[in-house]
Amino acid sequence: MDIIFDTVTEETLIELEKTQKDFWNVPRKTGVLLNMFVKMMNAKSVLEIGTSNGYSGLWLSKALKETDGRLTTIEFYEKRQSIAIDNFKKCGVLDIIRPLQGSACEIIKNFSEEEKFDFVFIDANKREYVEYFNLIKPHLTEKAMIVADNIISHAEKVKTFVDAIDADNEFQYAIVEVPGGILTAYRSK
């Protein structure tokens, strides 16, 4: 069965899919997977790096409404962040979202030591993936999941990140062949 949201959310997702290429949104299939992963992990504190217009954020936050969790999402451009906030508001999820604007690395560097995430979705500057990974590691809960987009479509740019995950014995991972390709990693030790 396909997942069914309220009418406003369904219509908003369909509307955003029409401009998917302009805003570099994940394909719907990845949205469905993100939504399922958050629920399967019973995630309470999700970090998204790369908000854009909020498309993937909607899939994440709709799942977080069910797990009673919260989403922190980072976007560099103010204009895109403001479009995302409008979409979050329209779909009734803004109350569980903390939208942060600026450079992801700088923002993560400024997180307090107590800031912990049990699920992280990486989808910003491909060449910085490895840096995001190194910066978020101290902020992961013991059993956390990381999902990263464009692993196949931007294989060259994200190679250092994949190599870092591959060399890290705390994580097991698999690359899933949805369009663009996602890496799914689970901190199992």
Site for ligand SAM, rule CB under 6 A: 24-26, 50, 52, 55-56, 74-77, 80, 103-104, 123-125, 128
Contact 42/75 with Cβ under 8 angstroms? no
Nearer to ligand SAM, 118 or 128 (CB): 128
Q: What is the DSSP letter of 158?
A: T
Nearer to ligand SAM, 144 or 147 (CB): 147
Nearer to ligand SAM, 3 or 142 (CB): 3
Could you tell me the smallest distance in angstroms from the CB atom of residue 54 to ligand SAM? 6
Could you tell me the smallest distance in angstroms from the CB atom of residue 128 to ligand SAM? 6
Could you tell me the smallest distance in angstroms from the CB atom of residue 169 to ligand SAM? 28
Beta carbons within 8 Å of 133's beta carbon, 6+ residues apart: 122, 146, 161, 164, 165
Locus of tokens 């491909």: 126
Could you tell me the smallest distance in angstroms from the CB atom of residue 143 to ligand SAM? 24
Angstrom CA distances, 91 to 3, 36, 42, 67, stand at 15, 18, 21, 17
Nearer to ligand SAM, 25 or 67 (CB): 25
Could you tell me the smallest distance in angstroms from the CB atom of residue 173 to ligand SAM? 19
State both tokens at 85: 């906030």
Angle at 64 between CA 7 and CA 161, to 5 degrees: 115
Nearer to ligand SAM, 106 or 163 (CB): 106
State both tokens at 28: 């719907």
Contact 151/172 with Cβ under 8 angstroms? no
State both tokens at 4: 């069914």
